Structure 1
Amino acid sequence: MTAVGVGSGRAARGSVTEGAARAGLTARGVIYLLVGALALQIAFGEGGQQADRQGALEEIAEKPLGSVLLWALGIGVVGMALWRLSEAVFGAAGPDGRKWTKRLASAARFVFYTFVAYSVLTFAAGSGGGSGGGGGSSDEQSKDVTARALELPAGQWLVGAAGVGVIVAGVWIAVRALMRSYHKHLRLGEMSRRTRRAVDVTGVGGGLARGLVFAAAGVFAVRAAIDYEPDKAKGLDDTLRSFADTPAGPALLAGVAAGLVLFGLFSFAMARWRRV
């Protein structure tokens, strides 16, 4: 194959990868935007839907052309998974994108987004836009997985270690947001000062809220392991609702929910300005 052929092949792959990445980031933004909006409704005593991915999908399904939107969302998440797979195989953008640690992280994200894509597409195909698809709420899934894990040899240690890992991930997400680590992935030169400020508001506020939710979910997993009670593990919906049971009350839940809305907006900004 000639150098021209190799170059055109890389350009085509790059174009496909970029399209998949931007579609995936947009889909992620839609999901977080809806989850945050549902959590805000709960904070103000108006929430009937689950404040998790299942609830977001049901919210979309109730809209005009809901089935079409669900399929589009699922395809977008497939794009996110393929982008992360490309990073794991070929390396990510940036000078350190080919490091094994970066590739391993991309591989883990590929597995995660493959699961998300499967759940979204299953919901779209199995329910035709109605409730009952998608494999159940995040709370049911979390308790079921925890119960199965606790039955394994050294199950308490496995669940506890997983919980600690989620806590660490939450802290890592929050710290990176505070440090504005996402700047290295953005085409900052193409952004006005006002746009950059707006992106920082969404990136920092959204990252802090997302990190707090992860850390709280990890704490509940550790408690479930220590007490050997899978029902103490919580999915996204129960984790969000637990913030309303703190001394800060619904105000804390409203703040976290607003942060998740910000993260949804940040995902849209990443879809527009991220280097891929």
Structure 2
Amino acid sequence: MNQILIKPQFEWGARIGYAARGIIYLLIGGLAVMAVSGGGGKTTGTKGALKSLLDEPFGQIMFGLLALGLFCYSGWRAIQSIKDADNHGNNAQGVAIRIGLFISSITHLLLAIWASSILLGFGSSGSSSNQGGLITHSWGQWLFGIAGLAIVAAGGAHLIKGWKAGFEKYMDIPQSQRVWAVPVCRIGLISRGAVYCIVGFFLVSSVWIAGTGELKSIGEALSWLRDQPFGAWLLGIIAVGLFSFGIYSSLEAVYRRIDR
């Protein structure tokens, strides 16, 4: 097995990044649970969850720390992809996983830049977009269609990882905590995978059926769930699952195996 040198500061950066992602999903899931139970919450995505902090005591400090954590997480994802820190290899499956990690690095970098711009007072709060200019070109339609399929594929990977508990080979969860931690992690991954599949389906259908190229957010996917038959139950289940994914990410911050 190939080994690379993970410097201590990179290891700490990775753990800070996992913790930041965990807090964000705890907020997303918690707000959605409150929305279902009538506690005053709302269905929102990553940007909405972050912005919900700004009106809280010490909210700007927490907002800034999470932005820093997102930069750390983006950097760690880049190391995972480029340096193959988890030894996925160079075969077709390994390359596909590493490409996915690199895309995750870019998306979290953009989220971190957005959060920084909000903190500095010149950012935009928009969460979805209609890429009308690109969709008028045939290559734009294919681009957005492929992006939608990639999101669905990422969701499917989460579903499989959660169902098979594939995360265990990357984590050193103490035996005393496995009885609750492993089921929570599995539920969290499956729930996030389901939401990703919905978001990807939205994008594919908007491109190839409606021809709009409209990119939906996690919050909009949750709102769509709420409007379905038995929507309150569906949203409640997924909300608890996303909260569980926040716990999973928080556990990664502590128990993720980052070989040095």
Same fold by TM-score greater than 0.5: yes
Q: Deviations over 1:12-58 (max 9, x none)?
A: x5201110000000000011010111212332345565511222122
Equivalent runs, 1:114-263 vs 2, <5 Å: 114-126=109-121, 133=123, 135-138=124-127, 141=128, 143-145=129-131, 147-188=132-173, 191-193=174-176, 195-230=177-212, 233-263=215-245
Matching residue's letter, 1:192: Q
Shift of 1:106: 3.1
- Whether the aligned pair in 1 keeps the contact of 2:33 and 2:41 (CA below 8 Å) is no
More displaced 10-residue stretch of structure 1: 35-44 or 224-233 = 224-233
- Whether the aligned pair in 2 keeps the contact of 1:159 and 1:222 (CA below 8 Å) is yes
Equivalent residue number for residue 71 of structure 1: 64
Higher relative contact order (CA 8 A, sep 6+): 2
Residues in 1 aligned to 2:11 and 2:147: alpha-carbon distance in whole angstroms: 32
Shift of 1:155: 2.8
Q: Deviations over 1:151-196 (max 9, x none)?
A: 23333333222222211211111111111110110124xx023x11
- Whether the aligned pair in 2 keeps the contact of 1:23 and 1:79 (CA below 8 Å) is yes
Equivalent residue number for residue 42 of structure 1: 35
Q: Structure 2: where are the runs of 5+ without partners?
A: none
Percent identity for Structure 1 against Structure 2 = 27
- Whether the aligned pair in 1 keeps the contact of 2:88 and 2:98 (CA below 8 Å) is no
Equivalent runs, 1:80-91 vs 2, <5 Å: 80-91=73-84
Q: Deviations over 1:175-221 (max 9, x none)?
A: 11111110110124xx023x112221221110111000000111111
Matching residue's letter, 2:170: H
- Whether the aligned pair in 2 keeps the contact of 1:203 and 1:262 (CA below 8 Å) is yes
Residues in 1 aligned to 2:111 and 2:188: alpha-carbon distance in whole angstroms: 20
Equivalent residue number for residue 52 of structure 1: 45
Equivalent residue number for residue 15 of structure 2: 22
- Whether the aligned pair in 1 keeps the contact of 2:202 and 2:216 (CA below 8 Å) is yes
148 and 196 in structure 1: CA distance in 2 versus 1, 3 angstrom threshold: farther
> What count of residue pairs does the alignment treat as equivalent?
252
1:109 is the counterpart of 2:104: yes
Please report the RMSD computed on the Cα atoms of aligned residues, expressed in angstroms: 2.3
Shift of 1:246: 1.9
Shift of 1:124: 1.7
Equivalent residue number for residue 254 of structure 2: 272
Shift of 1:69: 0.9
Shift of 1:148: 3.7
Shift of 1:80: 0.7
170 and 76 in structure 1: CA distance in 2 versus 1, 3 angstrom threshold: same
Residues in 1 aligned to 2:150 and 2:102: alpha-carbon distance in whole angstroms: 17
- Whether the aligned pair in 1 keeps the contact of 2:67 and 2:112 (CA below 8 Å) is yes
Please identify the structure whose Cα radius of gyration is greater. Answer: 1
Residues in 2 aligned to 1:55 and 1:108: alpha-carbon distance in whole angstroms: 21
Residues in 1 aligned to 2:202 and 2:178: alpha-carbon distance in whole angstroms: 36
Equivalent residue number for residue 7 of structure 1: none
Residues in 1 aligned to 2:29 and 2:19: alpha-carbon distance in whole angstroms: 15
